[in-house]
Structures are given as structure tokens and as C-alpha cells.
Structure 1
Amino acid sequence: MSTPINSPVKPLKNCGKCGLCLAACPVYKVLKEEQASPRARLQLIKAFENNTLESSALLKEIISKCLMCGSCVVACPSGINHYEQFMDMREKMVKDLGETPAIRSLIYLLARESRIRRGAGLARLGQRWVQKLTPTWLANKYCLGNIPLKQFPQLNLLPFRKTVATTIPPQGIKKGSLVYFTGCATNYMYADTGISMVGILTHLGYEVIIPQDQTCCGIPLMFHGAVDEAVKNMILNITALGAHECDGILVDCTTCGAALKDEYPALIKKRMANDPQKSLEYWEKLASAAQKIADKTFDILSFIVAHKQDLVFDKTTPNLGNIAYHAPCHSRNNFNTLPLVQSLLRELPFINYTPTLDEAECCGGGGTFFYEHPEIAKKMMDKKIHHVKAVKANIWLTDCPVCRINLAGNIDKTSETEAIQVLHPVTLIHDALKKGPLEKEPLEKS
């Protein structure tokens, strides 16, 4: 019997060392080393908690060599939430041993929206100078992980949320109101995803509300042990999202969705029990608001499947050829969307959906995993690119921005994979919709 990824943390003694988590763990499948397995990490955590194992650089590395995909949780017959255990252990390791300068810088930026905005602006300027002044052969030598800097996505000319109104009316008769949590990637990198989200939701008859004071969901901060900073972001988002009456909260990234749906209620409850600086009434009110948000959170692809009968496609849309899909880990493990997405893609009349052999295998992106452990991530990506080439795909779809960065960034621009586009599924669907007379053309990215 599988364990939901948002299940409570059960005692480590429940681990029977059965090994079912080994077959589910993408890192173990690459390294084939016992210390890389989820059960080994659990035993190390147990020894640490029993004071028979001290903090060390090696222990921190072993704990960090995890994609936080949650696959081991789903596979565990003993009901252990490895995900929460690993998250808590990362926090302890960072407190004991600190973090690298690069990760500390990332945490500093993501902890405040104003810093993210300034950092994105500087990065966009840097991209322009690299493109103008650096020869291609040299630019391809500068990499973040395995990804050449020139193959990173172009940052939006303006943050997406600055280009749209807070409230966008529906096309035709209003069916309801939806709040759109854009996340950092859409706001600063992938405006095409945001434009398509708004276009689809208004096409379906929904008013779209985009709170301008939302910020990073907090998951990247939690992954690196910065829980205090993550809680501050969560409180800001709970306030921003909870300020609007709506029928649902939509995400285009299932990692952000996992934060809103699973991590916010869990972390707020944990703080309620351990933070004496705030009153119990304060935390209870916050916990109630977090749970309301969790109950209303949906990923966009599940929402589209539930309303697909109302999609009106332009009959002149040409066939786009072979399309492959990469299922992000949080889509599979937190939202269980893979069967729904497969069904949706098979029904789209303008594509030939061809599943790859490793469609549901992790790509090795994992937040910053592709940067921290590039040798492991590369082995995962080499396999995925081999399989996407085998189905002769023109477009590779994925609904996770980090997966999108990783897939597109590892495609060899000098080989037969050069022509493969990597897109969010909503872009493909929106482009094929019959446009209303008042719908504006998509904004241009720089």
C-alpha cells in the first residue's frame, strides 16, 4: 500500500529496510550505492538522533544527494514520510555546518520579492552582455551544472505580474473566479506560460485574479534548510492569496502547488507547537487560512481535464507532429496527474502524442540538484534525451519550470535534437484555442 506524500511523519523505527524505496529512488538507480538509498538515509538520521553519529560534511552530502521527489514516500509500505524526515535533517545539517556561498546567495534572494526582482533584472542585463560579447564556443564552456549559460531561458523583459491586471475578466459569461499563483519562474522567466494560463482560464469563462504581492512559494528555501525564511514567505502568500474570494487557486508548477497544498498547513502546524513568541490564537488563525488555501489549490492540467468539454479549438490549427511529455515528480507524487495528462494529450486533435519509455522518470533537475550534483543529473538527462530522440518528438512538454530548464538546457544544439522545443502544455493548448474577438495577442518576450 503506497503512502501519500503529505502523510504525517511516522517514527523512523517503522522502517523495515525492505528496499522497495530503492527501486523508486532515481539517485539510487544511477549510483547503485547503498548510502544513496532512502533507507540508508533513514538509518543515518536515526543514528544522528540517537547521538551515535555526529554532523559531518560527508553526512550532509549524503542527505543532500536527494532530489526530494517523494517517490520513496509513495513506495513505502511502512507509512514513513521520507520527504519530511529529509527536510528536517537538511535544516539540522545547515545549522551545524552552514551552506555554500552560492546556495546562501540563492536563499538571500528568494527570501524577499524585492531581492528576486533586482536579481532577475541584473541577470537579464548579464544575459544580454554574454550574448553580445561572448563567442558561442566560449559561452558554451560556462555552465551552471551541465547547462551552458547560453542555453538558459531568456528572462522576461518585465516581470509577468507587471504586465497584467490584478483582475482579468472572462470571455463571455462569468462562471466563477480563480486566483492564479504564478510562482517565480513564470513571473521572471516564462511569461509564455502565464499568458497561456490566463488565456485558457478566461476562455473557459473564469475571472482570473493575480495577487501582485505574492512571492516565492518557499519550497526552495525549505530544501536548503532555511525554514525560518520559508515560513515568512508562506505567511506573505497566505495573506495575499487569502485576501480574495475565489472558486479555486491555480498553479502552473506542481512544486509550488505542493507547497500550497501540503507544506503550508504542515509547517504552520509545526510552528504552532514550537513557537512561543506568537500566541496560539495567531497560529490557529494562520493554520485555518493555510488549510483553506490548500483545499482550493489545483494544478492547471487537472483543471483543464475537468473542463476539457468547454475548450473550443481552432479547426485550422495544423498538426504539430510528434509530441512527448515529461512528468515532473511533484505532478506524479503530489497531484497524481500522469494518467490525466496522458488522457488529455491523446485527445488533443492537433498532435501525435508518443510516450517515451522513461516518461515518468525524474530528469535530475530537482531545484538546485542539477547544479549541486551535475554528474548524477547528467546520467539521468542522457537517458531521457536518448528516449525522446527515439520517438522523433518535435516538442517536449513538461509542467515544471525547473524540468523545463533542465530538459531544454541539456539538448545538444548541434545535433538532431536541436529542433526540439520544450514547452509547458498550456502554451500548446492556448495557441490552438479559437480566440475571442477581444482577446489580445500574447506579449513578446525579450
Structure 2
Amino acid sequence: MSDKNQIQNCGKCGLCLSACPVYKTLKEEHLSPRAKLQLIKKFEGRDIHVSPLLKELVSKCLMCGSCTAACPSGVDHYGQFMEMRRKMMDEVGEIPAIRSMIFMLAREYRIQLGAKMARIGRKITPDQIARSLKLGSIPVHSFPGLNPVPFRKGLPEKIEPRGKVRESLIYFTGCATNYLFEDTGRAVIGILTHLGYRVIIPKTQTCCGIPLMFHGAPEEAAANMAANIKAIQGAMDIHNCTGVIVDCTTCGTALRDEYLGLARKIDSGEIPAPKAWKGFDPQTLGRSLNNIASKTRDILSFVHEHRVECSFDPGFSPVRATYHAPCHSRNSFKTGSITDRLFREFPCFDFVPAPDQDECCGGGGTFFYEFPDISRQMAEKKINTVKSLEVPYWLTDCPVCRINLAGSLGENRDGPKVIHPVVPIYDQLIIEE
């Protein structure tokens, strides 16, 4: 279906309004998903032109996909907004901070250099200054510390389980686990090897590319995609891997959905093919894309599927915790009922459901940086709810949600610790020495 027909299908019914976290926060019609579609329609009809105001209105979106999931007419708001961002990027560009992020994420060596500089900066910045500075809505001192060394660098590419190997799985770590949250990575590997799986961590994997796509840089995202396809398919061929595990459903959405869309844009000539793309045979590339997409699984769904094989230490006390459901987990991977059952069934949890666990936290990639006031309102609402539950742990399987929620807690020392659910699961498994 063409973009034009997609927008024509919008019946302006308003169901997207009740799903959109930005609209629910601000109650302004011109920021609703249906209004954004009409702005795009006017732009395509050349009734309006790209301007800073149009860019701001379309960009006030968390790219959560909730409107697309709620639409009874099947309109792909998510895809429409992403494509419009590309056109606006071509016309009016981006602010320096976002341009710098795009430049950095487009090459793995730049990400490594950026992480080193951030690590040094954290060490030499006086605490008093760090407490006075903010990145968007989050105080600098509230950002997580960086891993001492990149997570993938400190591990072999192949990690064997104890005992008999049942199958081999690829672990796509993503940038956050590699540079910020090694506790998540070690827990994922520990769980998978506990279940008898050989874990393969391709060393040449890089950023999934979704941040680049969100900011109108599909050419750079396509280069990352080419690198990841080579890394993942190459590891699949060498080790006969049967699946690709992600601990972040945003990365999973890239591997499972967005790469296929990018490939279609390249094939149609809509965006230029990256240099790395030219080495692919078209038929082989198509098979690789579909192979990776069909085999990509989020770690929580995978663990729940193997729940009867998880042996928990009866000596541990259950972790009293609540959960924040990331938008891509709900809307792309549809894990809502799965995670709810996991938290209720696993003996390692004393689960306290939050009434607003499915509400967006306002992180949304760089949304907390670009629109800090809106993000802060959304985060504070959730924080007030979770404080009333009096739980010591707040679980979420999205690293940006983790950064946003933990950072928004700030100086609230009596607030919960925000962690990935795999951490308490791994901590309470019976690990044979």
C-alpha cells in the first residue's frame, strides 16, 4: 500500500488519542497521531512546506508504536512518522547534539571512542558540577556509570554451557548492554548457559540502527544493518545457530521488522545503498533478512518458554518488585501477557503489579533530551505510582526506560532500584559449579 493510501485510510476516529502518551499528557489535538497524519498529507500535497514548527510538531512523538497498534484501519503511523522525519532531516537538518549522536552511532569505533571519553569525563568532572548539569530531564550524575570495559570485549565469542549442549544461540547485546549495563549481559548469558545453550556473541555487531532511523538517517542505519547482517548470518552459518536473543525489544524490532523495511527502500531506490551493501547477493541477502527476522526472540519470552527448566535456589527470598512495560515490548513483541505470567509464576519474584505499568515513561530514545518537560511529566506520574507500592525493585527490559526511570528518581534514595528482570532471575538460579 502506498504512503498516500495509508494516510487516506485514516478515519479520524480518535482511537489513537487514547493510545498516544504525548496526547494523554498534553491534551493538545495538533500533537495527536491523527493530526500528525493530516500534516503529512498536507505536506505530500504541497499545501505546506517543511519548517521548524512542522518539524517540532511531528518530532513530538516517542515512536512507541501505540497509535499503530490501536488503529482499526491498519494505518502505519510509525512508518509514516519515520519517513517524514527523514524528509525533514533533508530539509532543515538536526540540532548539533542529535547530529553528533548520528555521527557516533554510525560507526562502532566512534561509539567506543565516545564511551571512553564519557568514562574519562565522569571521572574528572567534580561532583558539584555533575549535580548541577542535566541532559534533558535527567541530572548528569544520575546517568549510569559505564562498564569498565565494553561487555563484548571482555568475553570470548563462544561461551559453552556446563554439560551437554542442546543448541547454539546468538546474543545480540545492543549498545546499552555493551557499554552501560553489563549486569544485564552477564545475567542473559548465565540463564542461557544454565538452560544448556551455547552462546555466540558476534564481535563485529554494532548499533542496531533504530536511533538513526528515528532521526531521519536511514543511509547510516543501512550501513549498520549491513554490518549486523554479516555478523549475525556469519555466526549462524559457522555455529549452526537456531535463534537470535535480544535483551532489548527496540533492538529486536530493528532485527525483526525494520531491517526488512530498510531493504525495501534500498531496493526501490528510495535511499542509496551503503557501500557494504554492494557485496551482498540479492537473493542471499533476502534469505538472511528473513532468517534473522524469523529467529529473533526477546529474552523474557524465551525464558518463560523454558520456565519448567529453570531451577531456583529455595534458600533465596523472592524479590519484591513491580514492572514497567517498554513500548516496543508491548506493541512490537506483544509480550504483555507473557511477562505478567512470568512474574507471577517464577518463585524468584514477589510481584506487585502497577496500575500504570503499560504507560510510556517518556524516555523514547532521545525524547527525554529533546522534550524534557513532557518527558518529566510522564516519568513523575509513574514514579508517584511506584512509590505508593513500596517495592525495592522496579523491573524493565528496555535500557532507555531504565536510564529514564532511574535518572528521574534522582536524589530519592528511598526509591526502588531499576534493573532488567533477567538480573534477579539469574541471581536465584541454581548454578552448578
Q: Same fold (TM over 0.5)?
A: yes
- Cα displacement (A) at 1:280: 12
Task: Please name the residue that 2:207 is paired with.
Answer: 216
The question of whether the paired residues in 2 share the 8 Å contact of 1:358 and 1:384 is answered with yes
The question of whether the paired residues in 1 share the 8 Å contact of 2:219 and 2:272 is answered with no
Task: Please name the residue that 1:85 is paired with.
Answer: 80
Give the one of 17, 23, 40 matched to 2:35.
40
The question of whether the paired residues in 2 share the 8 Å contact of 1:213 and 1:240 is answered with yes
Looking at structure 2, the residues matched to 117 and 246 of structure 1 have their Cα atoms a distance apart, in angstroms, of 27
Paired residue type of 1:153: P
Looking at structure 1, the residues matched to 81 and 92 of structure 2 have their Cα atoms a distance apart, in angstroms, of 16
The question of whether the paired residues in 1 share the 8 Å contact of 2:208 and 2:228 is answered with yes
Task: Please name the residue that 1:391 is paired with.
Answer: 389
The alpha-carbon distance between structure 1 residues 56 and 276, as it changes in their structure 2 partners (threshold 3 A), is: closer
Looking at structure 2, the residues matched to 240 and 280 of structure 1 have their Cα atoms a distance apart, in angstroms, of 14
Looking at structure 2, the residues matched to 108 and 166 of structure 1 have their Cα atoms a distance apart, in angstroms, of 27
Does residue 27 of structure 2 align to residue 27 of structure 1? no
Between 178-187 and 143-152, report the one with greater CA deviation: 143-152
Task: Please name the residue that 2:398 is paired with.
Answer: 400
Looking at structure 2, the residues matched to 364 and 126 of structure 1 have their Cα atoms a distance apart, in angstroms, of 26
Runs of 4+ aligned residues of structure 1 deviating over 4 Å after TM superposition are 7-10, 275-281
The question of whether the paired residues in 1 share the 8 Å contact of 2:312 and 2:348 is answered with no
Task: Please name the residue that 1:429 is paired with.
Answer: 425
- Cα displacement (A) at 1:150: 0.6
The question of whether the paired residues in 2 share the 8 Å contact of 1:27 and 1:376 is answered with yes
Q: Secondary structure of 2:297's partner?
A: strand
Looking at structure 2, the residues matched to 393 and 239 of structure 1 have their Cα atoms a distance apart, in angstroms, of 43
Give the one of 254, 258, 264 matched to 1:269.
264
Looking at structure 1, the residues matched to 278 and 120 of structure 2 have their Cα atoms a distance apart, in angstroms, of 45
The question of whether the paired residues in 2 share the 8 Å contact of 1:48 and 1:54 is answered with yes
The alpha-carbon distance between structure 1 residues 435 and 280, as it changes in their structure 2 partners (threshold 3 A), is: closer
Task: Please name the residue that 1:441 is paired with.
Answer: none
Paired residue type of 2:310: L
- Written as runs of structure 1 = structure 2, the 5 A alignment for 1:33-432 is 33-130=28-125, 133-135=126-128, 138-243=129-234, 244=236, 245-274=240-269, 282-320=281-319, 322-414=320-412, 416-417=414-415, 420-432=416-428
Paired residue type of 1:385: I
The alpha-carbon distance between structure 1 residues 72 and 409, as it changes in their structure 2 partners (threshold 3 A), is: same
Looking at structure 2, the residues matched to 329 and 22 of structure 1 have their Cα atoms a distance apart, in angstroms, of 16
Cα-to-partner distance string for 1:10-69 (whole Å, 9 max, x where unaligned): 521111111100000000001100111000000000000000011100000011100000
The alpha-carbon distance between structure 1 residues 390 and 11, as it changes in their structure 2 partners (threshold 3 A), is: same
Looking at structure 2, the residues matched to 101 and 53 of structure 1 have their Cα atoms a distance apart, in angstroms, of 26
Cα-to-partner distance string for 1:382-438 (whole Å, 9 max, x where unaligned): 110011011111100000000000010011424532xx111000111000011111x
Looking at structure 2, the residues matched to 412 and 96 of structure 1 have their Cα atoms a distance apart, in angstroms, of 38
Between 61-70 and 163-172, report the one with greater CA deviation: 163-172
The alpha-carbon distance between structure 1 residues 269 and 306, as it changes in their structure 2 partners (threshold 3 A), is: same
Cα-to-partner distance string for 1:97-143 (whole Å, 9 max, x where unaligned): 0110000000000000000001001101111112xx333xx432201
Q: Which runs of 5+ in 2 are unaligned?
A: none
The question of whether the paired residues in 2 share the 8 Å contact of 1:8 and 1:81 is answered with no
Q: Secondary structure of 1:95's partner?
A: helix
Paired residue type of 1:309: V
CA RMSD of aligned residues (A): 1.6
Task: Please name the residue that 1:4 is paired with.
Answer: none
The question of whether the paired residues in 1 share the 8 Å contact of 2:11 and 2:73 is answered with yes
**TM-score, normalised via structure 2 length:** 0.95
Identity of aligned residues (%): 54
Looking at structure 1, the residues matched to 413 and 182 of structure 2 have their Cα atoms a distance apart, in angstroms, of 28
Looking at structure 2, the residues matched to 416 and 88 of structure 1 have their Cα atoms a distance apart, in angstroms, of 43
- Cα displacement (A) at 1:198: 0.4
How many residue pairs get matched?
A: 424
Q: Secondary structure of 2:268's partner?
A: helix
Looking at structure 1, the residues matched to 64 and 286 of structure 2 have their Cα atoms a distance apart, in angstroms, of 25
- Cα displacement (A) at 1:77: 0.7
- Cα displacement (A) at 1:264: 0.6
Paired residue type of 1:134: D
Paired residue type of 1:114: Y
- Cα displacement (A) at 1:176: 0.3
Looking at structure 2, the residues matched to 396 and 360 of structure 1 have their Cα atoms a distance apart, in angstroms, of 13
The question of whether the paired residues in 1 share the 8 Å contact of 2:104 and 2:111 is answered with yes
Looking at structure 1, the residues matched to 86 and 318 of structure 2 have their Cα atoms a distance apart, in angstroms, of 49
- Cα displacement (A) at 1:288: 2.1
